[in-house]
Amino acid sequence: MSTEQTIDTAELGEKIVGVLKTIYDPEIPVDIYELGLIYDVFVNEDSEVKILMTLTTPNCPVAETLPKEVEDKVKSLKFIVDAEVEITFDPPWTQDLMSEEAKLELGML
């Protein structure tokens, strides 16, 4: 019988989302999760994380630094072995991807 601690991937996913909500787009006072920039988060049994995300525009001024910040903050979580961010523009980001909370924060509701 294995004595290794079993990691609850759902619980880990919630912790990852918690970290993502601490990262802000520097031009918009809303976190990247509520902005709808995070398309998917995958956690495998080895506690390796892959995050599929987009940017508000392909020319986003933080295109170089934001994915690295996401990787570093997710890697800092306990039990995470590695984290990789993949940037995609398919589908392109639109304001429709923002949460109600983000829209309210930005006065769009």
> Domain for residue 102, yes or no?
no
Q: Can you give the pLDDT at residue 7?
A: 63
> Domain for residue 4, yes or no?
no
> Domain for residue 105, yes or no?
no
Give the helix ranges, DSSP H, for 1-109: 9-20, 66-75, 100-105
Range of the domain at 20: 9-95
> Domain for residue 47, yes or no?
yes
> Domain for residue 100, yes or no?
no
pLDDT in tens, 55-108: 998 888 888 899 999 999 999 999 899 999 999 999 999 999 999 999 999 999
Give the helix ranges, DSSP H, for 3-99: 9-20, 66-75
> Domain for residue 2, yes or no?
no
Q: Residue 84: beta bridge partners? A: 50
Number of domains present in the structure of the chain? 1
Q: What CATH number is given to the structural domain containing 60?
A: 3.30.300.130
